[in-house]
Structure 1
């Protein structure tokens, strides 16, 4: 089952938006603003030049604001922008009214066909691609800057004048639905070490700072990668080799500016292409052929969300660097009084310093941290953009709310914030929702409760406990732990605890992360039917020294009992089903490009990031604390997902090994199957990546094993859209292989199993999104899948080797 998820932060702030009306004065230069006459919205990146004067050109910023010095009364300014009628305005008129309104063109841009060598835009785009590494800010050795971020949730089409619109939406009282501001310090060191420290936060009606957006919440910082990721969906970058094959480019205009010539190029998908492609504008400077301005919107609607991202870069004489970023999201399924909900997130950078960080200066591996000093902030000094009338009234409306309503609003916000950490705060106690219900084939239904001390009780330590009753096995399970947060900068933790619970033999002990295999791991836990009864004492020490990397030192004493209710005969007398294992080891986990935020005492991953690498090595110590088994155990996991053009690639590899004599069945790998054995439970016919779809659960035993799976998802073969339903079939090819070995298999003759020395093969084909249903903010795609088992472990009847499944995808 494929899942395309969005950022956790995106859902938590899905009540914000944007409208701006400012006058941004600079010393010696008068400022003006350009608007769309139909919508009243500012127009970014408008070309403005003075007639018959070379070198006087400029471009409006993301707010539509611009300034030009050295005017004379008789000067005529020429305003031009793709999709708008050219307009001439005299300076004398502009002084009387500093706002210019452009009229949209009535026709779409014509499509032209160019043969090789005829299109001058292609040469410019190629030079921009060749200089990507030179102009990419994330290729610099280091940088730092101050970031002012403003995020507003409003209604699409509202003007700045409340008297015009509030007859339709009186409940806004002249303001927006919601808004927030943050002021941060950002530091970056190559390769990829980045921390945004939020030093001030202001949110309408809410005190929890996690609901305030930061500089990279809604669009990437760099626009030079092969794909521009928006809400976890990768769009092919027009400034890429693959983009050259998929887009048409048109040179629209050129302008002489302070640092050279700027070429305005529009781009759109080639005929017949649209999947994960955009359209928009490139402003390429003759100085290093950098992107001076960048505008991207989807070529076709993405789920139930339409967006536009804008970025303005500035040249400091040596480097190009982002100066302003603007993201606009319109939610087609959310509306009030026939107006769509819209979110606008704007970021303004200042105090930019490049390559001046001390090489010895440490940067927190946590992506977003909060350092909010108590007391009121002087936002007049922090803001790089003044508040508009509506924005001011938004704060005022929330400030004037009834205190009881304010408390409820904050309680709801805190609930959502801490729910992202797997916790629900109730005063000094946190409830752990994942401890309340449990369902599997052994316990059937398990009901319990998990409680923990909250951060309000102590920042230093956390005391947790849980209990659960299984209604089929009629047994209680319980446990508890005491943890200490020794250092918040690198998330250094020390924990010790005890549990009396059940555990499936042969399962991975690596922590479960967030990846394309997560749905399969959840379903595999549901299939649990074989268990050990385990009494465990444990201790651990963990640290996050680098971004995305965590290590953990572990020690435990386990008293295990094999529950052999699945055995076909009695085990031999020499087989030990009750034993004690004293174990010490290390876990290493790495998530490439992971974006994390500290929420209270917890670290929350905000994105799905790859590659995911996990490694665990442990050694039992016989005769220590009663230990009577001797083994060396290891596990390895590698998962990677990447896009190439319109295709998506997924690679999953896992290996397990244990070395020792007279090993209990508890430590043997039980295969990588996801199919329920006939007559042993409900079989859910869905595709679960990371598992063998035709292998039965518990079909194999191995003390050393390897499983590799590769999947390739194509773009849509064709697309047909209807109201609420569309057809956009995609092909997903699967190829899997597994191999394993087992020393002394006769020792386990009382269990039915096979070994995998000769290798297990499986191939599959999904036809995804045969039917795509739009529902709320997301869409669900349904299709079918076929998987076939072949090779040495093919079943005698070829029909038993074929498995039919459903394919389910979800996208926002």
Structure 2
């Protein structure tokens, strides 16, 4: 019975089976592939891939991948890409990934395009500029996302193979063989970012992995190589600002050419090439913009500097955007390729084949989520303490693709090498050295405690220390001792502090010190680094006093950590070191010292500043907003043996900003006031002079004013610089910068009769000086060799106005200036 039933139903089942197969054969197929360059094997981004003889298509992503639904019966894809031969590719349905190569067109000289009417690219670019505010992700009310970032450094294997074939040197063969197996360096991170307009911004490193290291200090490198969006007036690449082709002010300085018109469903994608107009001199870009007609938004971009960079490197960026919610365009992939070369080598075989590749993949994007202020950390950038200890399956979830054989080998080899040679110990040196400290186990030794020089003390030798986080994350202590050759006095001090709240950097501490202080110098809350040119002025100081000070202080961060505050109570004694006397009347004996009892409030407000919390300290990255400083001191003559009653205010505002096509301006405004003029010189304000018997320029000081030439009980000063950067002079591998300088100030010393043997005078008529500087007078390769990355220049200033000197030549100063070239 069962057999008879089976025989009866068999034809029906067979017919149904054949029908199912036939129906399946009619279903569209999902074709995936990757497009690469035939010569180099590098993936090609934004290649237009369409089904042959149709407008149905897509584009490759930044890694060259694409996915396309192909209807039944279609067997060919058509590919087009600017600068490459188009081709028809036959689909191999037996392969899961179609591997497609494209050939670059032979190099052609740039032709001058003459349009009979309006350039058709102009309408597209102007529409895109008009819609910038709508499409710029930085102008959204809020967003969140997670990103996977990969950064690797590698060497060109083919370069070493060619050198081996040319020279027969077996070391080149061994290098090529090694590069078959691994890269030089690899780093990965996963970050989570939250943003709410206008200024709430937080990025947390959830996970990080660095080959050979556990220190996470390099983790943010991949995300800081380029601007997050291409819509800004300028595009930042490797900390260099380039005028954007989407800046309306730059429209006349760029040449635009419509290279291709592509179709994606109902939308049109315009491929527009851009480059600076001939014979213009500015930091511009060249590349391709893919503009989607839906909202006139940037869908993708390829860009690189229009001119060869000085310093031996070139780079290219790629950005890809998607409509994540059907309305808003948002970046989903960011690529940066950096190529290093030897700028002195005319022989290509002598070039350095080092490449650095940064990749960022953005996912889990939410547009305008309901973020509250309490959803944001106090720090712009912070690290998860377990970031480098997360399991393998965590990384598998975020990686865009599994690690290649070479990448896995890089981790294995570099991790073993790092453990053998303790790379982390070297990495742990870098951050303290930037701030002028040498870490030794649980303590840091300030470099300036070992040796420094100034005109008053001469050569100063000593030793100092402060404990670091390895000693305690809650308690810090330290001290110093010094002796100098010219005044032959001992200096010493010690301090201790407790961290009460880490996120607010709330500290309670106390200190005692006997040391020198600049007479009438300011005490604003500035931060100096190891190679800061502003420290040059310290060499010139010739009027210093001995001050013994005992203090208790409370410091903390406030207003989203933009405001740094310190409140202190101090007592002590200041003694001057020359023939100077202070008196308040004919019947009073002259004072050679005074005791003080003082409370002090110091503040620094830096709106928009990026505050990064590392394992050891808080790092501040500057913003484009002005920085404000304020110091308020109140002295008492009836408390704790204090002899001076006064109120003293000091303030400063500094700002620096770029002006498209004109350069960069820097302003520093300073002022000071005391409520009474009859105070000892150390409580007044000595004008910030910078002219001494040294041929070194001190930035943001009066370069023609002699040390201690002027003093005041109230003053105001402005220091101005305008750098044309490389807009005026530019030659291959040599770009000197012209800087215009003007400094001016006025101050009143109202009780001159109270000061005996005081050579400083009032400057109520106004002090003026102007001049120029030419920075980077040496090619960068020479600067690296001769002055360790500091770029020298020449500064010429002229003193004029009421306080000009009788002899004209005495009003001029010619000095050597130094700026960092990295």
Distance, in Å, in 2 between the alignment partners of 1:459 and 1:174 is: 42
Match of 1:475 in 2: 489
Question: Does structure 1 conserve the Cα–Cα contact (< 8 Å) formed by 2:582 and 2:755?
Answer: no
Distance, in Å, in 2 between the alignment partners of 1:28 and 1:432 is: 67
Question: Does structure 2 conserve the Cα–Cα contact (< 8 Å) formed by 1:310 and 1:325?
Answer: yes
Distance, in Å, in 1 between the alignment partners of 2:810 and 2:105 is: 62
Match of 1:631 in 2: 646
Question: Does structure 2 conserve the Cα–Cα contact (< 8 Å) formed by 1:166 and 1:173?
Answer: no
Match of 1:329 in 2: 338
**Distance 1:731-1:337 versus aligned 2 partners, 3 A rule:** closer
* 2:85 alignment partner, SS class: coil
After superposition, give the CA deviation of every residue in 1:571-594 in whole Å (9 maximum; x if it has no partner): 974443322222223222233443
Distance, in Å, in 2 between the alignment partners of 1:382 and 1:664 is: 65
* 1:122 alignment partner, SS class: helix
Question: Is residue 505 from structure 1 mapped to residue 513 from structure 2 by the alignment?
Answer: no
Match of 2:796 in 1: 786
* 1:199 alignment partner, SS class: strand
Match of 2:367 in 1: 354
Distance, in Å, in 2 between the alignment partners of 1:518 and 1:667 is: 30
Shift of 1:541: 2.5
Deviates more, 1:588-597 or 1:443-452: 588-597
Deviates more, 1:365-374 or 1:498-507: 365-374
Match of 2:301 in 1: 294
Match of 1:701 in 2: 711
Question: Does structure 1 conserve the Cα–Cα contact (< 8 Å) formed by 2:653 and 2:670?
Answer: yes
Match of 1:99 in 2: 99
* 2:128 alignment partner, SS class: helix
Distance, in Å, in 1 between the alignment partners of 2:276 and 2:124 is: 18
Match of 1:719 in 2: 730
Shift of 1:706: 1.1
Match of 1:745 in 2: 752
Shift of 1:547: 5.2
After superposition, give the CA deviation of every residue in 1:771-798 in whole Å (9 maximum; x if it has no partner): 4342459977655433211111111112
Match of 1:10 in 2: none
Question: Is residue 640 from structure 1 mapped to residue 648 from structure 2 by the alignment?
Answer: no
Match of 1:532 in 2: 545
**Distance 1:159-1:595 versus aligned 2 partners, 3 A rule:** farther
1:218 counterpart (222, 225, 228): 225
Distance, in Å, in 1 between the alignment partners of 2:603 and 2:636 is: 21
**Distance 1:782-1:584 versus aligned 2 partners, 3 A rule:** closer
* 1:209 alignment partner, SS class: coil
Match of 1:493 in 2: 507
Shift of 1:720: 3.2
Distance, in Å, in 2 between the alignment partners of 1:566 and 1:277 is: 59
Shift of 1:261: 2.0
Question: Is residue 86 from structure 1 mapped to residue 86 from structure 2 by the alignment?
Answer: yes
1:397 counterpart (402, 413, 418): 413
Match of 2:22 in 1: none
Question: Does structure 1 conserve the Cα–Cα contact (< 8 Å) formed by 2:50 and 2:58?
Answer: yes
Distance, in Å, in 1 between the alignment partners of 2:465 and 2:533 is: 28
Shift of 1:237: 0.9
**Distance 1:606-1:171 versus aligned 2 partners, 3 A rule:** farther
**Distance 1:533-1:694 versus aligned 2 partners, 3 A rule:** same
Shift of 1:275: 3.3
* 1:126 alignment partner, SS class: helix
**Distance 1:699-1:134 versus aligned 2 partners, 3 A rule:** same
Distance, in Å, in 2 between the alignment partners of 1:151 and 1:321 is: 22
Query: Structure 2 unaligned runs (5+)?
Result: 1-27, 166-171
Distance, in Å, in 2 between the alignment partners of 1:784 and 1:547 is: 41
* 2:799 alignment partner, SS class: strand
**Distance 1:140-1:496 versus aligned 2 partners, 3 A rule:** farther
Question: Is residue 655 from structure 1 mapped to residue 671 from structure 2 by the alignment?
Answer: yes
Structure (1 or 2) with the greater helix fraction: 2
Greater C-alpha Rg: 2
Distance, in Å, in 2 between the alignment partners of 1:339 and 1:773 is: 17
**Distance 1:109-1:310 versus aligned 2 partners, 3 A rule:** farther
Distance, in Å, in 1 between the alignment partners of 2:473 and 2:522 is: 32
Shift of 1:645: 2.1
* 1:526 alignment partner, SS class: helix
Shift of 1:323: 0.6
Match of 2:695 in 1: 684
Match of 2:168 in 1: none
**Distance 1:769-1:455 versus aligned 2 partners, 3 A rule:** closer
Shift of 1:51: 2.7
After superposition, give the CA deviation of every residue in 1:683-710 in whole Å (9 maximum; x if it has no partner): 1243x33122211121101111111122
Distance, in Å, in 2 between the alignment partners of 1:595 and 1:514 is: 17
After superposition, give the CA deviation of every residue in 1:491-546 in whole Å (9 maximum; x if it has no partner): 3333322212111121121122369x984530111112211211112233333334
Distance, in Å, in 1 between the alignment partners of 2:219 and 2:582 is: 61
Match of 1:5 in 2: none
**Distance 1:71-1:632 versus aligned 2 partners, 3 A rule:** farther
* 2:640 alignment partner, SS class: coil
Match of 2:813 in 1: 803
**Distance 1:217-1:566 versus aligned 2 partners, 3 A rule:** farther
Deviates more, 1:654-663 or 1:765-774: 765-774
Question: Does structure 2 conserve the Cα–Cα contact (< 8 Å) formed by 1:520 and 1:691?
Answer: no
Question: Is residue 672 from structure 1 mapped to residue 688 from structure 2 by the alignment?
Answer: yes
After superposition, give the CA deviation of every residue in 1:434-488 in whole Å (9 maximum; x if it has no partner): 3222211122111222222221222212122222222222222122222223333
Match of 2:40 in 1: 39
* 2:39 alignment partner, SS class: coil
* 2:456 alignment partner, SS class: coil
Question: Does structure 2 conserve the Cα–Cα contact (< 8 Å) formed by 1:760 and 1:790?
Answer: yes
Match of 1:307 in 2: 315
- Superposed CA RMSD in Å reads 3.1
**Distance 1:769-1:477 versus aligned 2 partners, 3 A rule:** closer
Question: Does structure 2 conserve the Cα–Cα contact (< 8 Å) formed by 1:47 and 1:81?
Answer: yes
**Distance 1:187-1:117 versus aligned 2 partners, 3 A rule:** farther
Q: Normalising by structure 1, report the TM-score.
A: 0.88
Question: Does structure 2 conserve the Cα–Cα contact (< 8 Å) formed by 1:421 and 1:604?
Answer: no
Distance, in Å, in 2 between the alignment partners of 1:745 and 1:640 is: 34
* 2:675 alignment partner, SS class: strand
Distance, in Å, in 2 between the alignment partners of 1:237 and 1:461 is: 48
**Of the two structures, which has the highest relative contact order with CA contacts closer than 8 Å and spacing of 6 or more?**
1
Shift of 1:259: 7.3
Question: Does structure 1 conserve the Cα–Cα contact (< 8 Å) formed by 2:581 and 2:590?
Answer: no
Distance, in Å, in 1 between the alignment partners of 2:266 and 2:560 is: 37
Question: Is residue 602 from structure 1 mapped to residue 610 from structure 2 by the alignment?
Answer: no
Shift of 1:749: 4.0
Question: Is residue 191 from structure 1 mapped to residue 201 from structure 2 by the alignment?
Answer: no
Distance, in Å, in 2 between the alignment partners of 1:251 and 1:330 is: 28
After superposition, give the CA deviation of every residue in 1:68-106 in whole Å (9 maximum; x if it has no partner): 123545343222222222222122389476222222222
* 1:758 alignment partner, SS class: strand
Question: Does structure 2 conserve the Cα–Cα contact (< 8 Å) formed by 1:157 and 1:339?
Answer: no
Match of 1:429 in 2: 443
**Distance 1:426-1:759 versus aligned 2 partners, 3 A rule:** same
Distance, in Å, in 1 between the alignment partners of 2:105 and 2:396 is: 39
